[in-house]
Amino acid sequence: MISTDSDPTNPGEDGRTHHLDVYERRWMIASVALLVVFAASVAVAGFGLGFQVPGHESRVDPNTVADSPPWNNPGLRDLGNGEYEVYVIGRQYLFEPNEIRVPVGATVTFYVTSVDVQHGFKLQDTNINMQIVPGHISKLTRTFEKAGEFPYICNEYCGLGHASMAGSLIVEAQGG
């Protein structure tokens, strides 16, 4: 498609008669190869190794979601075998609940929704980072191997009190 047989030892001189330089063509091939490697890497990591982003979960009515189970009682559910679910409601300008305690080793699935505007849910120092959109449920799972305190903060502008919207996940050492 693209002709290129100009003298590779003398690129970029006046008098070139072909419209595309040989180095330019090599650069193009290398660029495409690099981008293909990137795309393949994230696809394998996401769909093969489980480093996944939130997907489509389910729809709710933001006006009534907080009235019926499980959202009328936000917080932690112990499913046994170290598995937990936590339901979090975002509203201007707080999270319900604003404190969650789990033991070390817990695998926690976060379900988050909003009853008013868009919020963010970012669990600091982890890859739990979700856009919270009224009418939708955002879901991600993570296992906590170390004890410690992880703040969760709203990272989408939601109004004047946005900066104060935060909570805390506490991973407790076993027996403690």
Partner 1 sequence: MLTQPRTYQLDTSQKRFISYHLVIAVIALTVGSIFGPLQSFNWGGLDLYQFLEPIGLGDYYKGLTLHGVLNALVWTTFFITGFLTLTTIVGLGRPLKHPRLNWAGFITMAVGLVMAGIPILAGWASVLYTFYPPLEAHWGFYLGLTLVVVGSWIEGYGFYLTYYQWRKENPDTRTPFITFGGLITMVMWQLATIGVAVEILTMLLPFSLGLLDGTDPQLGRTFFWFTGHPLVYFWLLPAYISWYGLLPREAGGKLFSDSAARLAFWLFLLLSIPVGFHHQFVDPGIPNSWKLIHATLTYGVAFPSLLTLFTVVASLEYAGRKRGGTGLFGWIRALPWHKPSVSAQLLAGILFMFGGIGGITNASYNVNLVVHNTAWIPGHFHLTVATAATLSYMGISYWLVPYLTGKPLWKPKLAVAQTWFWFVGMLIFSNAMHVLGLLGAPRRTDLNSAPYVPEEWSGHLLRVSIGGAILLIGVILYVLIVYKTARGKDHLPEGEEIEVPIAESITDPQLTPMWLDRWRPWLVGSVALIILAYGPQLAQQISNAQFTSPGFTP
**What is the C-alpha to C-alpha distance for residues 68 and 98, in angstroms, rounded to an integer?**
20
**What is the C-alpha to C-alpha distance for residues 62 and 58, in angstroms, rounded to an integer?**
12
- For the bound state, the minimum distance from the C-beta of residue 80 to partner 1, rounded and expressed in Å, comes to 27
Q: Quick one: tokens of 99?
A: 């404190």
**What is the C-alpha to C-alpha distance for residues 169 and 101, in angstroms, rounded to an integer?**
6
Q: What are the φ and ψ backbone dihedral angles of 66, each rounded to 5 degrees?
A: -75, -5
Q: Is 155 in the site for partner 1 (CB under 8 A)?
A: yes
Tell me the per-residue interface mask from 59 to 98 with partner 1, x by CB under 8 A, - otherwise: x-xxx----------------------------x------
Which CB atom, from 48 or from 176, has the smaller least distance to partner 1?
A: 48
- For the bound state, the minimum distance from the C-beta of residue 79 to partner 1, rounded and expressed in Å, comes to 22
In 6-135, DSSP assigns E strands to 75-80, 83-91, 94-96, 99-103, 107-114, 119-123, 129-132
Q: Is 154 in the site for partner 1 (CB under 8 A)?
A: yes
With CB under 8 A as the contact rule, which of the stretches 67-75, 79-87, 99-107, 131-139 interacts with partner 1?
A: 131-139
Other CB atoms within a 10 A radius of the CB of residue 125 amount to: 11
DSSP letters spanning 116-127: SS-EEEEETTSS
Q: Is 166 in the site for partner 1 (CB under 8 A)?
A: yes
Q: Which of 107, 109, 131, 141 binds partner 1 (CB under 8 A)?
A: 131
Tell me the per-residue interface mask from 33 to 62 with partner 1, x by CB under 8 A, - otherwise: -xxx-xx--xx-xxx---xxxxxxx-x-xx
Which CB atom, from 40 or from 78, has the smaller least distance to partner 1?
A: 40
Q: Which of 100, 106, 108, 130 binds partner 1 (CB under 8 A)?
A: 130
